Structure 1
Amino acid sequence: MQALTLTIKRRTDIYLLPFLSLIFLLNSLDRSNVGNAETAGFTRHAGLAPEDLNDAVSAFFVAFVLLQPVGAALGKRVGVGRWVGGVMVGWGILTGLNAFVRSRSQLIGLRICIGALEAGFYPATVFYLSLFYTRYEFAQRLGMFYGQYAVAGAFGGLVSYFVFRLFPTEPEGDIRAPSTHEPEHEGWYSYQILFLLEAGLTIIAALTAFLWLPTGPKNAWWLKTSAERAWAEKRILIDRAQAENALEVEEEGEELLADNESDEEEAKQRRRRSLSTSKNGKIIGGEPGLNMQDITDAITDWRVWWLLICNITSSVPGIAFGVFLPLVVKGFGYSTLHANLLTIPPFLCGACSLWYTTYLSDRSRLRLKYILYGLTLSLFSLALLVLLPLTALTPRYVALCLLLSGTYIASPLTVAWLSNNMETPGKRAVVLGINGWGNVAGVLASWIFRPEWAPGYERSFGWTMGSVGIAWVGYALFWVAIRGGNGRRGRMGLALVGE
């Protein structure tokens, strides 16, 4: 059976994980490409003011955040494969239309529509991923998946470099000083080609998703035999069944049991019901139906809201730099071409750091410890960016690389903790949708990285440092609260084995 499990994991790692990672990369790319386009004069050539871009980013995240739970629930109900393909086609077309924006209202309207279509994509695909991997296989795979957010920044910088070099709007792809008497440009602007190219890639991947993604392990086309498909689903059921007596067992007590034996028995009953067929006849491997009890359990769980606040404040630098890093680097005094090229190393540092950290997290079965490590590194790097003089270009650039190395760790490990500690699949889906409200950090980021604070963005770094500091305190207090609860239960003989 162990050999069969290894075969299933290997094939799923080869055929499912890379494809999901690819579509999340394109999702992240279409969300953040306005920052790369702005280095090539997007707002100026489109007849917009620089602050219109910030307002459009803010509007995107308002729609994106408000519709997260709705999008997650729809994805789960419709089926992730069909839903992902459909919404990707939609936002791919809208991304291409950014190339033809000529007014503030058009830009904001497009970004709102893209945000509405992308809402729920991440929590729905995370829930989908959890159908194929057990609890202690999950964080590492989630890290590979979420790491595409950083890879998208690097890929976007590379694509922008080549597009702006091959199709320069101005000499050497640079932007001249604004002029009220600028001559009419003939042909395509380089930023227009960028939007259309990335839109085309998204639509191609979306059409492929309809054929590539099964409803669950029992329909996975990469598993060749009925025995493989049956065991792929059953091993997930067994892993969830083990949660009847113990959810996630971790040194820091990252599992909170009920406060008394009666509540604990009620939680067990909910978990047992989740392992049986639901009203529509589907079980966990086939995306079980959602009911009102799942929604009630999710919105009354204090852990969900505490971690949501932590997730919002910890996500500010990651979301901010996903859009504004090209402008921050350009503020160091680099040309448009070099600014986009120099965004690649910081983003790659973020991705590699995340992948290694999630590997350690799964191996040690710890979450909060590594979240605090990442936030500590982010705080140190932000302090350097605030204190270093603007002329210290190399140290400031190294600080950016260190900052992104710690930035992307908190969010996926928070998702892993929530996913592993929710009693039923339905509650888990709703909780992941609520946690998606952490993207309200995008609204904060658009306010913090204001164009009038360029090129040094010292005040922006200061505000970001304050946000990360709040997150560090929040996660630390959550760790203390969880450990304290498990300590009390340990004295009553209810502690989990291995705590």
Structure 2
Amino acid sequence: MAKPTPVVEEDTDSGEPCRSPSSSEGDARVLRKCDFHVLPMLYVFYALSYLDRINIGNARIEGLERDLGMAHNDYNVALQVFFIPYILLEVPSNILLKRIRPSTWLSFLMFMWGIVTMCQGFVTSFAGLVGCRFLLGCFEAGLAPGCAYIIGMYYKRYEMQKRFTIYNTAGIVAGAFGGFLSYALVKLDGHGGYAGWRWIFIVEGLLTIVVSVVSKWLLADWPEQARFLTAEERTLLLTKLSKSEGVAKMDRLDRDALRRILLDWKIWTGGLMYLGTTVSNYSIAYYLPTVLSGLGSTSSSSAQVQTIPIYAAGFAVALLTAWASDRLQHRFGFVILGAAINALGYAVLLATGRVSVKVQYMALYLVESGLWIGSPVEVVWLANNLGGHYKRAIGTAVQLAMGNLSGFVAGNIFIERQAPRYPVGYGVALAMTGVAAAAATGLYMGLGRENGKRERGERDYRLGLEKEVLDNIGDDHPRFRFAL
């Protein structure tokens, strides 16, 4: 007797198909394979990129400025020059990634920024350091938007938050591990005639180069090229993703598609939201060891070690938030929760001098936890609402580029003469947290309003477009529904 054909039902909450148990077993097997083969290398990539980007903060308290004759705002300049190419090249890199295998493009970028990281350990002047930081920004620019794009290509809407957050916690692990590794590497002070801070750059850069060489064979390419899947599994994955994508397609980057991308209010609002949050991200990344030193750490090594439990707290709340967000199929509330906790932490830090050191130290936990509740959700929330390959590739890159403008802000608001109170630094970070919350609220209200219009058929006039146009308008398709 022939087996009955599995029934496919429509999930009215997500717009994605619910499958029969037999089909679900195959989906679960493919999902496990994707988790095992896609995420680990992306995790390592992001951890090393974050480590190589922020290790200048660890090197600073070990004598970087003194040995290179840096003064006044030289350190801030070294931070900011990184972001010029980093911001400008994110979108072009993601467009290239659409045309080049990820295993080739991302491995190349990683190899090059590893070399530049090592070079920072050999510079003898401030100008040399600035040149290296600029080149580091050039080669790291494509990593974060590229990884976010790849994850979005392998997982459905409400499978993505957990995976992206796991990937994104590589930044937390790198921050914590960076403090521990710097603590160990500075013990090499004097070996080979190099100061301890130089060994931070040399060893961490060499580690990146080694990983980049083997990553060419370990990094997953696009789903249709996935070598870790059988032909049957690859078909199953592509079918699932196609049904999840639904009618929202954008596979051609023509003039109309580019116009729809650049004029999409969601992308710019999502970018503003992310900008507000990442001011905290870069402030913590670059200045946490310095702030801890100002709170009474007995030595620079003690300050390095004290960063570890703060990052560990962020790691824990990030994973819990990701699980809850996908389980509840909701994003907005978690962004607001993260902003509220972040704001509370900065409010306490603004009272430095009137509260105890222990309370100030606890406030750093609040800031880090609030940051990692909201930040990963913001990226996935926007990606969930961008339909079509090019829309998601460019829209995600634009959001991350806007967020990275915060590097210019964070590099200027912590003024050395204001230590340890940093009223400008904490005040601006608090204000930008408010900007993030306001932008998130605007995005939530706008998406809800647009969903209502589509339910009432107010966008059905677009169904009269020529088929070639209709098949390439992405989430402008009236049958697409936005995630809240």
TM-score range, shorter chain: 0.7 to 0.9
| Residue of structure 2 in register with 1:228 after alignment | 233
| Residue of structure 1 in register with 2:344 after alignment | 380
| Residue of structure 1 in register with 2:214 after alignment | 208
Percent identical among aligned pairs is: 29
| Residue of structure 1 in register with 2:275 after alignment | 312
Structure 1 residues 489, 216: closer, same or farther in 2, change over 3 A?
Answer: closer
| Residue of structure 1 in register with 2:384 after alignment | 420
| Residue of structure 2 in register with 1:353 after alignment | 317
1:282-312 CA-partner distances (Å, limit 9, x unpaired)? xxxxxx6644443222101111112211211
The AA in structure 2 aligned to 1:449 is F
The AA in structure 2 aligned to 1:408 is W
| Conservation of the 8 A alpha-carbon contact between 1:54 and 1:450 | no
> 66, 75, 90: which one pairs with 1:68?
90
Matching of residue 461 in structure 1 with residue 467 in structure 2 = no
1:92-128 CA-partner distances (Å, limit 9, x unpaired)? 0000011122222211111111101111211111111
Structure 1 residues 392, 3: closer, same or farther in 2, change over 3 A?
Answer: same
TM-score by length of 1: 0.83
Find the aligned partners of 2:72 and 2:302 in 1 and give their Cα distance.
21
Find the aligned partners of 1:294 and 1:493 in 2 and give their Cα distance.
21
SS of match in other structure, 1:40: coil
Find the aligned partners of 1:326 and 1:226 in 2 and give their Cα distance.
50
Structure 1 residue 191, shift from structure 2 partner:
0.8
Matching of residue 294 in structure 1 with residue 257 in structure 2 = yes
Structure 1 residues 53, 298: closer, same or farther in 2, change over 3 A?
Answer: same
Find the aligned partners of 1:449 and 1:401 in 2 and give their Cα distance.
19
Matching of residue 33 in structure 1 with residue 55 in structure 2 = yes
The AA in structure 2 aligned to 1:474 is A
* 1:267-306 equivalence runs, <5 A: 271=249, 274=250, 290-306=253-269
| Residue of structure 1 in register with 2:464 after alignment | none
The AA in structure 2 aligned to 1:442 is G
* 1:149-228 equivalence runs, <5 A: 149-164=171-186, 166-168=187-189, 187-223=193-229, 225-228=230-233
Structure 1 residue 216, shift from structure 2 partner:
1.8
SS of match in other structure, 1:455: coil
> 130, 143, 152: which one pairs with 2:152?
130
Structure 1 residue 47, shift from structure 2 partner:
2.2
| Residue of structure 1 in register with 2:38 after alignment | 16
Find the aligned partners of 2:143 and 2:192 in 1 and give their Cα distance.
38
TM-score by length of 2: 0.86
| Conservation of the 8 A alpha-carbon contact between 1:218 and 1:233 | yes
Greater displacement, 329-338 / 453-462: 453-462
Structure 1 residue 447, shift from structure 2 partner:
0.7
| Conservation of the 8 A alpha-carbon contact between 1:350 and 1:405 | yes
Structure 1 residues 498, 291: closer, same or farther in 2, change over 3 A?
Answer: closer
Find the aligned partners of 2:121 and 2:72 in 1 and give their Cα distance.
16
| Conservation of the 8 A alpha-carbon contact between 2:337 and 2:374 | no
Structure 1 residues 363, 168: closer, same or farther in 2, change over 3 A?
Answer: same
Find the aligned partners of 1:38 and 1:50 in 2 and give their Cα distance.
14
Larger relative contact order (C-alpha < 8 A, sep ≥ 6)?
Answer: 1
| Residue of structure 1 in register with 2:66 after alignment | 44
| Residue of structure 2 in register with 1:139 after alignment | 161
The size of the alignment, in residue pairs, is 440
Find the aligned partners of 2:483 and 2:404 in 1 and give their Cα distance.
34
| Conservation of the 8 A alpha-carbon contact between 1:372 and 1:472 | yes
| Conservation of the 8 A alpha-carbon contact between 2:189 and 2:197 | no
SS of match in other structure, 1:389: coil
Find the aligned partners of 1:226 and 1:342 in 2 and give their Cα distance.
49
Aligned-pair Cα RMSD in Å: 2.2
Structure 1: runs of 5+ lacking an equivalent: 170-184, 245-267, 275-287
| Residue of structure 2 in register with 1:179 after alignment | none
| Residue of structure 1 in register with 2:120 after alignment | 98
1:1-52 CA-partner distances (Å, limit 9, x unpaired)? 2111111111221222121111100010111000001111111122222621
